[in-house]
Amino acid sequence: MSKRDYYEVLGLSKGASADEIKKAYRTKVKELHPDRNSDNPNAEAQFKEVGEAYDVLKDGDKKAAYDRYGHSAFEGGMGGGGRGPGGMGGQGDFGSAFSDIFDDLFGNMGGGRAGGQNRAQRGNDLRYNLRVTLEDAYAGLAKTITVPTSVGCGSCNGTGAEGGSEPQTCPTCSGMGKVRAQQGFFTVERTCPTCNGMGQTIKDPCHTCHGAGRVEKEKSLSVNIPAGVETGTRIRLAGEGEAGMRGGPTGDLYIFIEVRDHELFEREGNHLFCRVPVSMTTAAMGGDIEVPTIDGGRSRVKIPAGSQSGRQMRLRAKGMPALRGGGPGDMFIEMAVETPVNLTTRQKELLREFEELSVENNPQSSTFFKSVKSFWESMKG
């Protein structure tokens, strides 16, 4: 059987948004629930297919690769064909969103995450949300974060057994961690109730960790946030997630960056935009203004005579650094010409005089009025 297109599997057309993909996925999973499909022999295979499609399409990078290269993007096993209900890894960020939704819908059946024979279970990945200022995103920063997590138990070296005693193979599931039950056409695997999926029982559990092999603890970590991060940047700290159960491998920690809005600068990719007020006289006659830059400094900008409101000027390389190579972005100044207010009698006099002189020689208005005149004439005809 040739592999079906992932979008087709989810009933979507190419280029569907992340929201559409998630929604379609949830709908499909509900449709294919074993309880509703005891008369559909294909449901289980379809269910797996849907899970595999979602695993790829929910991930921005994988989706991009898939959109470009199709299934061949993942030849070599990355697509994870075997991640059906039974063998769901729940490991790394690859399977976890899938498992989360799966847990929502299937309750304890999702306990399949425990994953059969691997009695040493991998620890969960952790997510840490970090809000930074735009200045920090510009310069990068070193930060110490405190993460509530679990670490390997020192008393039993992570085995969960007290005083050098050995864990025993679970008699209920013979070490599989799962028991099977028939439900319609499906064989449903459930987590073994005796050992909670561990595949082993401990006669004499460690007094410190009560047999889990790990204990809750707050962990302090120094992290380097590189210059150029933006909202949505994800930094992976391998092996800094939760400790595994009974000596299993440690999960990873993902730092999700959110960059706060800035009072002065708006960011678009690596470019920065800044609206700068310019007095009417400077705009008319030209002059220098001083503008702030994201590094905390200032730049002098020459305003050409006769500049209009909305005119943009570019300061090369004064934007944000590029996170992954390449030069920095630029900074764009947008002029906002200010109309003077609270005029004195003398100022009004001068402006009236100015007005009388400028009726004939203001290039902007004369072009405009010429157009208006020809517009009116064309309407008459």
**Chain residues that interact with Zn ion, rule: CB under 5 A:** 153, 155-156, 170, 172-173, 192, 194-195, 206, 208-209
Q: Shortest distance, CB of residue 149 to Zn ion, whole angstroms? A: 16
Cβ atoms of 302 and 288 within 8 Å: the answer is: yes
Nearest to 33 by CA among 117, 89, 102: 102
Burial of 269 (0-12, 13-18, 19+ CB in 10 A): exposed
Count the neighbouring beta carbons within 10 Å of the beta carbon of residue 351. Answer: 14
- DSSP letter (8 states) at residue 227: T
Q: Shortest distance, CB of residue 182 to Zn ion, whole angstroms? A: 19
Q: Shortest distance, CB of residue 158 to Zn ion, whole angstroms? A: 7
Which residues on neighbouring strands pair with residue 121, listed in sequence order? 245
Nearer to Zn ion, 187 or 365 (CB): 187
- CA atoms 129, 105, 65, 253: torsion sign: positive
Nearer to Zn ion, 136 or 189 (CB): 189
CA–CA separation, 332 and 113 (whole Å):
50
Q: Shortest distance, CB of residue 105 to Zn ion, whole angstroms? A: 24
CA–CA separation, 92 and 98 (whole Å):
11
Q: Shortest distance, CB of residue 48 to Zn ion, whole angstroms? A: 25
Nearer to Zn ion, 97 or 179 (CB): 179
Nearer to Zn ion, 147 or 173 (CB): 173
Nearer to Zn ion, 165 or 208 (CB): 208
Q: Shortest distance, CB of residue 194 to Zn ion, whole angstroms? A: 4
CA torsion, points 189, 192, 198, 204, in degrees to nearest 10? -170
Nearer to Zn ion, 38 or 187 (CB): 187
Residue type, position 188, single letter: V
